[in-house]
Structure 1
Amino acid sequence: GKSTLVGSLVTGQADNGEGSTRGFLDVQPHEVERGLSADLSYAVYGFGDDGPVHLRNPHRKSDRARVVQESDRLVSFVDTVGHEPWLRTTIRGLVGQRLDYGLLVVAADDGPTKTTREHLGILLAMELPTVVAITKVDAVSEDRVQEVEREVERLLRDVERTPLRVERHGVEAAVEEISPSVVPVLRTSAVTMEGLDQLDAFFQRLPKTTADAREDFRMYIDRTYSVTGVGAVASGTVNSGSVEAGDELLVGPMADGSFREVEVRSIEMHYHRVDRAKTGRIVGIALKGVKESEIERGMVLLPADADPTPVRSFEADVMVLNHPTRIRDGYEPVVHLETVSEAVVFHPDGGQLLPGDTGEATVEFKFRPYLVEEGQRFVFREGSSKGVGTVTAIHED
């Protein structure tokens, strides 16, 4: 479904009906066997003067580097997981990356599922402008496609969003109108390639959503590696500003709240060595002055002259999306904020929060401090309960 659609978009190749293009994204052996994506996959394609710049062989790193070089405009996909057990990875993808838009995929055979609703809820809670692609329209009757379109439109209206059918209104209208409240809906098939030229035209024209106003470099670390001969590498999405090889940075906070001075050895983007990287790019940064074992996901890279405050607890406006009972003082969910995924303790003002409620709470990290700032959004979950929040104030230690 979803991975297959993205696979066909980035290669410009039709799928054989059995998910052949999906293999371009899947990374771990167990996924290839099951045909389910379990970790976030990154795909990229671009646009030059003559239209789309496709990947010819997505498994070759040099080919991804070629696309980065040849394109004036790059579209990167963070392909998250569509299956219930891995919702946590999806939340990580939606919250931890610097995303501009959401692409929600609904299969014409299955129609909208419980997972579709959850993903939509999170996209809307993060206020990401979203487009819905109905896939596999070649596999079902026209009546069924129309039925699924109606279900999708009802689902959107239920959450006070306005659906816009691209078939009826055209790509230009979709580009003009897309917003957190207007959601374009279009039909696609990775087998017949129906709708893919519309998606190409759409992605080519979409405006970049406004970047963070701050000029200073910042990147929350998503993954860490140790590369022979290079040392520690931190990867993630550049949240703001830009970074160059040779820059002096801070990394942290460490468990004790301190930050370490490091230097940027080199930067890679989709396997292509670059001298600098700007806001919104997914990059790997090789760091001098720190061991890979000392850095972890959820830490942040900042300019050397920054004066960051490690945060152990903060105030937040929270909204409970679903919870079997009420949330009481001492509730312990996991919070996903930027790339941080950490156990916290909630202290709701007034002692409790009911499902559907919006209220204020003090949120305290259980194990270590992180860099948290006013205005950041987060998702929290524990078992089947989920909610979203916005940081309103931080407590300085």
Structure 2
Amino acid sequence: MDNKKNIIVGTAGHIDHGKTTLIKAITGRNTDRLKEEQSRGISIELGFTHFDLNDDLRVGIIDVPGHEKFIKNMLSGVCGMDIIILVVAADEGIMAQTKEHLDILNLIGIKNGIIALTKCDLVDKDWIELVKLDISDEVKGTFLEDARIIEISSTEKTGIDILKNEIIRIVDTLPEKDLNSNPRLYIDRSFSITGFGTVVTGTLISGTLKIDDELLIYPVNKLTKVRNLQVHDSNVNAAFAGQRVAINLANVKKEDVPKGSVLVPNNTFTESSIIDIKLKTVNLPFAITNRTRFHLYIGSNEVLCRAILLENEELESNKEYIV
């Protein structure tokens, strides 16, 4: 077993505020995989990489898109994140997707974060202080209210070591991962490799996966077996909660395991078409009445659903309801 502690760090923030550039400054790797991403200079799909902070800590990084058109891709990536780095460019400050990402992260219950004030080499000190005040006002009442704001220039590599030390400090406060419960992995990518077959990737939310484990794929209800495992590009015999995992699956096609599918042990989870949820409304742009249709994001999946109101005929903004 790898004795390193594994955590997942994710980025959030407005387009062109330097999320991918910051990750490259930290790790030396570019998370933009698609030619379109590299030619347009924006992230469209989720990006993944990793680095070792020290001898005891390995960090997996998920780089999410900042453009409003790709918000659903951002939503599919936040599952399983331990720490969020909210990236704000010093020359622009808080923008539309900064606010939207912050609302989403707050709603899904992210607890730990850091604010990276990027592009500080482009503005003077007085402007930086004004932007920091604006950020502090914006995050008041959220999980980032007491988060440290770190001044960074990714091009000049200033502030990077401070950011790494802050990640280490937060990690020391995190609870241990649950390695003994049933393993559960939400698939965020699936593809075929000649000579190997179907490979899926995702963050292992709980438990432990081993080679030859028998797993059930939801929602297609198809059994498969773990043929091979990789964690951060290295072959392993077992993967543990908190790790980014690539799994070579036996006897399934790529079409059987699209993004949003779930891998769990057989006879451990039960399908349902009804769930009770706590719905928190934020600045509603439309009225929510009984049987209003929604896009439900759960794990890495997006499904259409209807909200059945239990008490109210219509829901108001900025309140919580059980539906």
TM over 0.5: yes
Structure 1 counterpart of 2:189, which letter? R
> 1:180 and 1:212 mapped to 2: Cα distance?
25
Q: Does 1:38 align with 2:67?
A: no
- Report how far residue 182 of structure 1 moved: 2.5
State the identity %.
28
- Report how far residue 130 of structure 1 moved: 1.3
- Report how far residue 39 of structure 1 moved: 0.9
State how many pairs are aligned: 302
Conserved? CA contact 2:114–2:144, under 8 Å:
no
1:221 aligned partner: 187
Structure 1 counterpart of 2:309, which letter? P
Q: Does 1:99 align with 2:81?
A: yes
> 1:7 and 1:335 mapped to 2: Cα distance?
32
1:369 aligned partner: none
Please give the residue correspondences for 1:276-291 in structure 2 after superposition, counting only pairs within 5 Å. 276-291=238-253
- Report how far residue 327 of structure 1 moved: 0.5
Please give the residue correspondences for 1:42-121 in structure 2 after superposition, counting only pairs within 5 Å. 42-49=48-55, 72-94=56-78, 97-121=79-103
2:105 aligned partner: 123
Conserved? CA contact 2:181–2:206, under 8 Å:
yes
Structure 2 counterpart of 1:141, which letter? D
- Report how far residue 213 of structure 1 moved: 7.6
> 2:316 and 2:116 mapped to 1: Cα distance?
34
- Report how far residue 131 of structure 1 moved: 0.8
1:176 aligned partner: none
TM-score (normalizing by structure 1):
0.72
Please give the residue correspondences for 1:1-397 in structure 2 after superposition, counting only pairs within 5 Å. 1-11=18-28, 24-49=30-55, 72-94=56-78, 97-128=79-110, 129-157=112-140, 160-161=141-142, 182-207=146-171, 209-210=174-175, 211-212=177-178, 215-254=181-220, 259-304=221-266, 306-349=267-310, 350-361=312-323
> 2:258 and 2:19 mapped to 1: Cα distance?
30
Conserved? CA contact 2:139–2:145, under 8 Å:
no
> 2:179 and 2:52 mapped to 1: Cα distance?
25
> 2:300 and 2:287 mapped to 1: Cα distance?
27
Unaligned runs of 5+ in 1: 12-20, 50-71, 162-178, 362-397
- Report how far residue 119 of structure 1 moved: 1.0
- Report how far residue 301 of structure 1 moved: 1.5
- Report how far residue 146 of structure 1 moved: 0.6
Conserved? CA contact 1:127–1:180, under 8 Å:
no
> 2:82 and 2:285 mapped to 1: Cα distance?
32
> Per-residue displacement from partner, 1:41-76 (whole Å, max 9, x unpaired)?
012111334xxxxxxxxxxxxxxxxxxxxxx42111
Unaligned runs of 5+ in 2: 1-17
How has the CA–CA distance of structure 1 residues 26 and 110 changed in structure 2, closer, same or farther, with 3 Å as cutoff?
same
- Report how far residue 240 of structure 1 moved: 0.5
Conserved? CA contact 1:266–1:286, under 8 Å:
yes
Question: RMSD over aligned Cα, in angstroms?
Answer: 1.8
2:3 aligned partner: none
